[in-house]
Amino acid sequence: MHPGTDEAEWREDCAPRRVLSLFATKWTSMVLHTLHARHGGQARTGVLLRSLPGISKKMLTQTLREMEEVGLIERRVLAAMPPAVDYRLTPLGCRFVEPVTMLYDWGRANADALDALGSRAGARRE
Amino acid sequence: MHPGTDEAEWREDCAPRRVLSLFATKWTSMVLHTLHARHGGQARTGVLLRSLPGISKKMLTQTLREMEEVGLIERRVLAAMPPAVDYRLTPLGCRFVEPVTMLYDWGRANADALDALGSRAGARRE
DNA sequence: CTGTATCCGCCGCGATACTG
DNA sequence: CAGTATCGCGGCGGATACAG
């Protein structure tokens, strides 16, 4: 089955790998999904912080910065005191929500199959 | 938009996160995709090694072991000399190919949008 | 409220060399 | 050909304290 099945070659900087790299950091996909599914694509720092159990301020900020750098979200500072900042999905960000949501839904759909076999999925090997 | 949009809570061990964790290791998704798209769901070690530019024997073996542990693939040792081993997708593995392929295709489809904005996607912040 | 700066442990992953 | 054993680095990511 090597033939027409577009070779793809897995070049280091090919699009698919660039996409996969977005899942490399722990929180990116969750921030994205939360921002979209729970806050309509726009939310403030504190809100996100509370929507993501377990994340630290540091990681949230860092993750948001990376996402901004790649063009998934836009940061807006509201001149005020105390300061208020909100983040919103860019067009690209909205589009990237699609695959993330697919993954999310796929996970829910196959939840049982997953624990049937992958009880030790995240288990340390010892 | 908080309402019906299934809360999900992002529990540490919820299905979606379990799925995402499969993308946590660098090569898993690529091995899976290659195994499926280029070798019809079954291939031997050496073949995979050559199909994945940049991977090392160590990481390939390690990745395959993890995938086996989670139930994505099956390992078969053919009694012979020199030894021959092949790996094939399990039913769950086949199903997991779906989302991986979606990601893959999404990447290709949005390739241009990605380099337009994400030229510095993997860039170090300095 | 939002964001930064440090310190630091853990582990992913690459390079290399060796066994059957 | 398939697999394991080491060594070592880079960096993710958690905890904590501080600043605007």
In a domain, A50, yes or no: yes
In a domain, B76, yes or no: yes
User: What is the end-to-end Cα distance of chain A in Å, rounded?
Assistant: 37
In a domain, B119, yes or no: no
In a domain, B26, yes or no: yes
Please give the average per-residue pLDDT across A60-66, as a whole number: 97
- The residues facing B88 across adjacent strands are B42, B74
List the domain range (segments joined by +) for residue B83: 12-104
Cα distance between residue B57 and residue B45, in whole Å = 9
Nucleotides of D under 7 A from a protein CB: 1-6, 11-17, 20
In a domain, A7, yes or no: no
Taking the CB of residue A13, how many other CB atoms lie within 10 A of it?
A: 10
- The CATH number of residue B26's host domain is 1.10.10.10
In a domain, A124, yes or no: no
The backbone torsions φ and ψ at residue A12, rounded to the nearest 5 degrees and listed phi first, read: -50, -35
A125 closest-nt by C1' vs CA: C11
In a domain, A25, yes or no: yes
Task: Say whether the CB atom of A58 is under 7 angstroms from strand D.
Answer: yes
Residues 103-122, chain A, touching B (beta carbon < 8 A): 103-104, 106-108, 110-111, 113-114, 117-118, 120-122
Distances in Å between the Cα of A13 and the Cα atoms of B115, B121, B126 are 10, 10, 21
On the question of pLDDT at A3 being above 70, the answer is no
pTM for the full model? 0.89
> Residue A1 — very low, low, confident or very high, per pLDDT cuts 50/70/90?
very low
Q: What is the pLDDT of residues A5-37, one digit of tens each?
A: 455 678 888 999 999 999 999 999 999 999 999
The Cα angle at residue B16 between residues B112 and B122, in degrees rounded to 5: 35
The backbone torsions φ and ψ at residue B20, rounded to the nearest 5 degrees and listed phi first, read: -60, -35
Contact of A10 with A17, CB cutoff 8 Å:
yes
The whole-number pLDDT of residue B13 equals 86
Cα distance between residue B90 and residue A66, in whole Å = 36
On the question of pLDDT at B3 being above 70, the answer is no
Cα distance between residue A40 and residue A88, in whole Å = 9
In a domain, B91, yes or no: yes
* Number of domains present in the structure of chain B: 1
Question: In chain B, which residue ranges form alpha helices assigned H by DSSP?
Answer: 15-21, 28-37, 45-51, 57-70, 91-109, 111-117
